[in-house]
Structure 1
Amino acid sequence: MSASVPAQPDAIDSTFGTVSAFPEPVEGPKIAARNVSVYYGEKRAIEDVSIDIPKSYVTAFIGPSGCGKSTFLRSINRMNDTIPGARVEGQILLDGEDIYRSGMDIVELRARVGMVFQKPNPFPKSIYENIAYGPRIHGMTNSRSELDGIVESSLQRAGLWDEVKDRLSDSGTALSGGQQQRLCIARAIAIDPEVILMDEPCSALDPIATARIEELIDELRGRYAIVIVTHSMQQAARVSQRTAFFHLGRIVEYGTTSDIFTNPREERTKDYITGRYG
């Protein structure tokens, strides 16, 4: 794929506002899924999903409730392993390595592929210890000063440092909802992941906190491959450059966000985007 493909102009839509358009990535995919199906016992939640997720963009998964988007997201760092009776068929490759291969180090995988959940879930520890916990258990530092540096830089990247720098010993659970979610993002990036998965990270937040998280996602884009599940099509249009529309456990359509929202190829995508169902 040629590196000289020019960026397309922003597409304007009266419902979704400005939808960013970007050129196709020139590097190989960070994550490549091939014919992935996920089962909970006998129930198949995901069927034959194949998708390439680029390194430098934000990719959004949209679709109605129960369509399988969160199930697929959790399969990317094997969170479904924690559910009794869950099994995955097919391949999910991280930099070409099958994460479901025998002998895969799950702890290492989850260090490379961090996750931010729908409800903020800070540890019942201080703000400092919320961030320091991961680097400490992964042996990333040799001194307290190095650990202090990781804590500060992680909180700065998450846009939280100026708000908490004078109360790092306070409990993380004492922060507001939006601050707690940014703390969880700081905790995820403290161990220097390559991918950040976000499962409806703003659904429990007010509009002001949601706007701050969206700004943060945009600031983090390029440092990490980011995948976000969202029920808000407006949010997907604002923060992502690639969008996959899930329906009944399958990907119906996947492409640039501008195309999905302004010129979808599939009738089912158009029906969902225009609110005919969902």
Structure 2
Amino acid sequence: MTLIHDNMEKMDAKMAARNVSVFYDKKKAIDDVSIDIPSSVVTAFIGPSGCGKSTFLRTLNRMNDTIPAARVEGSVTLDGEDIYRSKMDVVQLRARVGMVFQKPNPFPKSIYENIAYGPRIHGFAEKKDELDSVVERSLRRAGLWEEVKDRLADSGTALSGGQQQRLCIARAIAVDPEVILMDEPCSALDPIATAKIEELIADLAGRYAIVIVTHSMQQAARVSQRTAFFHLGHMVEYGPTSDIFTNPLEERTKDYITGRYG
């Protein structure tokens, strides 16, 4: 059973999961998780390694579809629409629900083409001036424009690790998503680059629903307004971040927060 904090104010759910379980062949990795993902705030998933938080994150834009042995039960909706229905356009879904991975993965293309690729293939922008505008706007939102505006023709892979991750975030927001999923986006970065990503998340929070998986409880406390604690495939507790860290309802949550395991 998941404990939900009673004092969570009513917020509009951008996405909602109900009774979601995920199997890899016969192994159950996620067991009966239900959660609302509100608009315009940051929701953090925390928990020890192997607890299922990244697996559950991937159910929110059907990334588990790429794993042949994976099977998802239950329902996940985006604006009330079941994303697992047979007629769902998964390519369009992943434009609406973008993802930033643990390791920066820029395309082996120019900085400009990394950003322009998505808007071009989705038909959001076709003319050069339209693409120029999208590229500049996305890089500005990602806090990267001033650093790369004079070298847009350079390869995205030539940037530093922190710049590459901000480029990947710019690439995700270039197709005007509604939700951004981030799977430990700072785990491969140094503290200075991590601080820049955290500042960026704070800047983007009002525009998008953001869900971040993080091993860092300090990071969850800094960047999120909602936190869900996962343990052994279960979502144990969910509530305002301040409550989860200062007044957890479940002993397992308290033990994890205080460092007794993890």
Could you list the per-position Cα deviations for residues 75-130 of structure 1 after superposition, in whole angstroms to 9, with x for gaps in the alignment? 10000000011110000011101100111110110010000000000000000000
**Matches of residues 1-278 of structure 1 in structure 2 within 5 Å?**
26-278=10-262
Aligned length: 256
How far apart are the structure 1 equivalents of 2:55 and 2:83? 16
TM-score, normalised to structure 1's length? Answer: 0.91
How far apart are the structure 2 equivalents of 1:245 and 1:74? 16
1:102 partner letter: S
How far apart are the structure 2 equivalents of 1:142 and 1:187? 16
Question: Secondary structure of 2:13's partner?
Answer: coil
Question: Secondary structure of 2:57's partner?
Answer: helix
How far apart are the structure 1 equivalents of 2:188 and 2:89? 32
Q: Determine if contact 1:160/1:183 at 8 Å carries over to the other structure.
A: yes
Gaps of 5+ in 1: 1-22
Gaps of 5+ in 2: 1-6
Q: Hey, which bits of structure 1, 4+ residues long, moved more than 3 A?
A: 23-27
Question: Secondary structure of 2:171's partner?
Answer: helix
Could you list the per-position Cα deviations for residues 51-91 of structure 1 after superposition, in whole angstroms to 9, with x for gaps in the alignment? 01100110000000000000000010000000011110000
Q: CA 1:142/1:173 → structure 2, altered by over 3 Å: closer, same or farther?
A: closer
TM-score, normalised to structure 2's length? Answer: 0.96
1:151 partner letter: V
Task: Give the alignment's Cα RMSD to 1 decimal.
Answer: 0.9
How far apart are the structure 2 equivalents of 1:142 and 1:24? 43
How far apart are the structure 1 equivalents of 2:69 and 2:139? 38
How far apart are the structure 1 equivalents of 2:8 and 2:52? 26
Q: Determine if contact 1:198/1:227 at 8 Å carries over to the other structure.
A: yes
How far apart are the structure 1 equivalents of 2:23 and 2:251? 28
- Return the offset for 1:243: 0.1
Could you list the per-position Cα deviations for residues 178-221 of structure 1 after superposition, in whole angstroms to 9, with x for gaps in the alignment? 00000000000000000000000000000000000000000001
Identity of aligned residues (%): 82
How far apart are the structure 2 equivalents of 1:219 and 1:135? 22
Q: Determine if contact 1:25/1:54 at 8 Å carries over to the other structure.
A: no
